[in-house]
Amino acid sequence: MPQPRPDIGNPRRQAAGQAAWTPDLALGILDWFQSPPGKDMTQDELKKAVAEAALEYVQSGWIVGVGTGSTANHFIDALAKMKGRIDGAVASSEASAERLRGHGIEVLDLNAAGPLPIYVDGADEATSHLHLTKGGGGALTREKIVAAASETFICVIDETKQVDYLGAFPMPVEVIPMARSHVARALAAQGGNPVLREGFRTDNGNVILDVHGLRIMNAVELEGELDHIAGVVTNGLFARRPADIMLVGSATGVDKITA
Ligand code: 5RP
């Protein structure tokens, strides 16, 4: 977090004290405007801030759908503050389930929990239409299931994830292992360059092909097409069921975008 600045660097505090105008004061004011609070926040601090902002959408008595990744981890840590008021959580990965349990939050099976009021998760890329690329952590299939089963999907990202078009981030595709080569050829025919994620298995026992080189102009159409390749379990486009609300963390605060 940014360190508190001394009075000399804060024009508001100076004004309150009616300090005399000195070269030091002028330099302090310049410094304050060049480095306002928040400017030096790291990407992880932005993720934490935006994840904490999502708590506002969680109501008492709810079972909360929880995503996967570093931003989702911050959300889990924040959710722990209200663990006595929620009825549990459904996790989109074994890693998130373990973190939730570590905080003493009950983890429920989606089949037992039924439709969820809310799902909170991060993304690798996001457009202003709230279309997303997800799966950087390899949890895309369970993430897509929990998102589909939720009334409201709140996507929490730092501002570096915002893009005009999806595709610069290699799009993950979860594949049944025996279909790896077949699916890779089909993805190449779509103009992509699929690369096997080495040494990685999903929670479902499958492999991931990360597809480089796509510039996705119609995410809704491509998501449907990729789902029809035999052997594809899930692709990392979240456009048919996009986010409902996107919270974006930046140095100036958390912005809310809705479709
Ligand atoms: C995991 C995901 C994550 O939401 C995505 O990779 C973003 O991760 P992070 O919050 O660590 O930047 O889809 O499968």
Structure tokens at 52: 């904490």
For residue 99, give the CATH number of its domain.
3.40.50.1360
- Are 65 and 140 within one domain? yes
**Whether residue 192 is found in the same domain as residue 121:** no
Ligand 1 midpoint to CA 238 (Å)? 13
Establish if 175 belongs to a structural domain.
yes
Residue 227 and residue 186 share a domain: yes
Q: What is the pLDDT of residues 3-12, one digit of tens each?
A: 333 333 333 3
Is 19 a residue whose pLDDT tops 60? Answer: no
- How much is the pTM? 0.86
Same domain for 48 and 138? Answer: yes
Active site residue 143: yes
- Give the count of beta carbons closer than 10 Å to the beta carbon of residue 23: 7
Range of the domain at 225: 171-235
User: Total structural domains in the chain?
Assistant: 2
* 189 and 108 belong to one structural domain: no
Is there a domain that residue 17 lies in? no
- Please name the residue whose Cα sits nearest to atom 10 of ligand 1: 71
Within a domain: 13: no
Closest ligand 1 atom to residue 136 Cα is: 6
Domain assignment present for residue 1? The answer is: no
* Assigned domain for 183 exists: yes
- Whether residues 117 and 223 share a domain: the answer is no
* C-alpha 16 to ligand 1 mean position (Å): 44
Percent of the chain topping pLDDT 90: 84
Among candidate residues 143, 159, 198, 221, the one labeled active-site is 143
157 and 193 housed in the same domain: no
pLDDT digits (tens, 9 = 90+) for 60-115: 999 999 999 999 999 999 999 999 999 999 999 999 999 999 999 999 999 999 99
> Are residues 142 and 226 located together in one domain of the fold?
no
Using CB atoms within 10 A of its CB, is residue 251 exposed (0-12), middle (13-18) or buried (19+)?
middle
Do 247 and 207 have their domain in common? Answer: no
pLDDT exceeds cutoff 60 at 164:
yes
Q: Is 95 found in the same domain as 135?
A: yes
Clarify whether residues 68 and 152 are in a common domain.
Answer: yes
Indicate if 151 and 245 belong to the same structural domain. yes
20-35 tens-digit pLDDT: 666 666 665 565 555 5
